[in-house]
Amino acid sequence: MWCSANRNEALTRAKLGQELPAKPCANNAVARSYALGRDFALDGTPAIVMADGELLPGYVPPDVLAKHLKDGPGR
């Protein structure tokens, strides 16, 4: 879907279970993002890395995330 000329149409077709032709991508942002996550040992989603390097793995309830963002490093 990412490399389709019309990504929205390709995503809609995929959601409908329609087969999409494989299309190689010279500039695949999905693959680059995946590789970057592996470089930082992120092995799940969602994953949030705070400015101080703290990892918030998995789903974080909004109130907990807001506290992390408000309190900053050293909570």
Q: What is the pLDDT of residues 28-75, one digit of tens each?
A: 888 888 898 889 888 888 888 888 888 888 898 999 899 888 886 555
Tokens standing for residue 7: 């990504």
Tokens standing for residue 21: 């032709």
Give CA–CA dist 28/11, Å, rounded: 16
Q: ω into residue 46 within 30 of 0, thus cis?
A: yes
The pTM of the full predicted model, rounded to 2 decimals, is 0.50
